[in-house]
Amino acid sequence: MGKPGPNPEVVAEDVLEVFRDRADDSEPLTAPEISDDLNCSRRTVLDRLHELAERGHITSKKVGGRSRVWWISDDNVSAHDFPVDDPLFSGEPLLSPDDPVDETEIDDVLYSEG
């Protein structure tokens, strides 16, 4: 494995998964621990941690001169916390705004596998 470096493909949800994959997801973690787990730079992880903190998903506390620990907020479940694999909220739009949908077809459009 190469030296960790910037990885723009690491997104905030990847960082959340590191917390959720732990046996105790309330265990505080440091940016270096997360960057080791994701094999990316500490700067990338810090950017994603700050993004998650702004969204209210995680909390942090300074625990020394330059050290900070992070953990999942107790109130991190929000109406905007959609599963990343939910086709309704990720990827290409299911419909174009210009495509009319008959009311009887809504379930087929929303829940079809195709």
Domain with residue 56: its CATH number is 1.10.10.10
- For the chain, how many structural domains are there in total? 1
Q: Which helix (H) or strand (E) holds 60?
A: strand 58-62
Does 7 fall in a domain?
Answer: no
**Mean pLDDT score across all residues of the chain:** 77
Q: Which helix (H) or strand (E) holds 48?
A: helix 42-54
Report the pLDDT averaged over residues 82-100.
Answer: 61
Does 6 fall in a domain?
Answer: no
Confidence of residue 78 (pLDDT cuts 50, 70, 90): very low
**What is the number of other CB atoms lying within 10 angstroms of the CB of residue 106?**
10
* Confidence at residue 91, expressed as pLDDT on a 0 to 100 scale: 57
Does 71 fall in a domain?
Answer: yes
Give tens-digit pLDDT for 27-49.
799 999 999 999 999 999 999 99
Report the pLDDT averaged over residues 83-91.
Answer: 58
Among 47-51, 61-65, 90-94, 95-99, the range scoring the smallest mean pLDDT is: 90-94
Residue pair 67/33 in contact by the 8 Å Cβ criterion: no
Does 3 fall in a domain?
Answer: no
Q: Which helix (H) or strand (E) holds 66?
A: none
Residue pair 41/35 in contact by the 8 Å Cβ criterion: yes
Does 94 fall in a domain?
Answer: yes
Instruction: Between 65 and 94, name the one with better pLDDT.
Output: 65
Q: Look up tokens 């309704």; give the residue.
A: 88
Instruction: Between 98 and 37, name the one with better pLDDT.
Output: 37
Does 4 fall in a domain?
Answer: no
pTM for the structure as a whole:
0.58
* Confidence at residue 13, expressed as pLDDT on a 0 to 100 scale: 92
